Each structure stands twice: as C-alpha cells, then as structure tokens.
C-alpha cells in the first residue's frame, strides 16, 4: 500500500477508536450518575425528611451534571463545537470595567491629595519678601 493510503486508513481507525472511547465514557457517565442518584435517594429514604430534601437536591445536581456531560459528549461525537459562555464573558467584562473604574478613581484621588499636600507645604515654607520703599 502507498504511504498516503496507509495514513488515511490509520486516521480513520484513530477517529473510530476515539469515537468508541467517547461512547464508552458517555455510557459510564450515565451509569455512574444513575447509580449515584439511586444511592443518594436510598440513603435519604432511611433518614429524615430534611435529608430527603438534601438528597433530592443532590439527585437533581447529579442528574443535571449527567445531562450536561452527556450532551457535551454527544455534541463532540457529532463534531459540534461547545457554545461560548456569553453570560460569563459579559459578567467578567463588567467586573473588569468596575475594577478599572475603582482603580482610576483611587489613583485620581491620591494624585489630588498629593497636589494639595505639596501646595500646603509650599505655602508653609514660603518666604514673604516685602520691598523696602524708596525714600527719595
């Protein structure tokens, strides 16, 4: 076989291997999430209602996490890229703007205080010279 053809087949085999591994990880994540949710619910059934509420929250969290990971894995297998977290990007941008404004305001106030202190120091150390009137 020509080297180009071998490379093409090895790439295809590598892609198939990667897809199979991803599928196995996806199945593992689903079963782990289900087992974890079942255990959490079972433990809560043996304890008080308060713990049942906490377990319910944990089950919801685990289920949501499993769904998110499964969807991400399915999207990756389908060749789709992950979405950009625009909300997080905007929030970080706003925090950056606020921090910059605070830093600029603080620096401006410090410079104004320094200028005032220098002006006061000059006024305190100034020598007043009065001219002597001519007596002609």
- pLDDT tens figures, 59-106: 777 888 888 888 888 888 888 887 888 999 999 999 999 999 999 999
- Confidence at residue 84, expressed as pLDDT on a 0 to 100 scale: 84
pTM of the entire structure?
0.38
Give pLDDT, residue 30: 73
Cβ-Cβ contacts under 8 Å for 49 (sequence gap 6 or more): none
Look at residue 117 and tell me whether its pLDDT is greater than 90.
yes
**How far, rounded to the nearest angstrom, does the alpha carbon of residue 102 sit from its chain's CA centroid?**
22
The percentage of the chain sitting over the pLDDT mark of 90, rounded to a whole number, equals 26
Residue 5 has pLDDT above 50, yes or no: no
Q: Which residue has the higher pLDDT, 39 or 84?
A: 84
CA–CA separation, 30 vs 63, rounded Å?
A: 9
- Write a three-state SS string for 46-114: HCCHHHHHHHHHHHHHHHHHHHHHHHHHHHHHHCCCCCCCHHHHHHHHHHHHHHHHHHHHHHHHHHHHH
pLDDT of residue 91: 96
């Amino acid at each position: 076989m020509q080297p180009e053809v071998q490379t093409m087949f090895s790439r295809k085999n590598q892609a198939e291997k990667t897809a199979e591994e991803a599928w196995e990880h996806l199945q593992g994540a689903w079963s782990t999430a289900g087992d974890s949710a079942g255990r959490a619910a079972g433990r809560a059934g043996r304890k008080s209602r308060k713990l049942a509420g906490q377990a319910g929250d944990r089950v919801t969290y685990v289920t949501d996490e499993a769904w998110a990971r499964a969807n991400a894995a399915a999207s990756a297998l389908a060749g789709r890229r992950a979405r950009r977290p625009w909300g997080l990007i905007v929030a970080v941008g706003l925090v950056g703007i606020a921090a910059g404004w605070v830093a600029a305001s603080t620096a401006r106030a410090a410079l104004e205080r320094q200028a005032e202190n220098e002006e006061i120091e000059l006024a305190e150390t100034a020598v007043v010279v009065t001219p002597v009137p001519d007596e002609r």
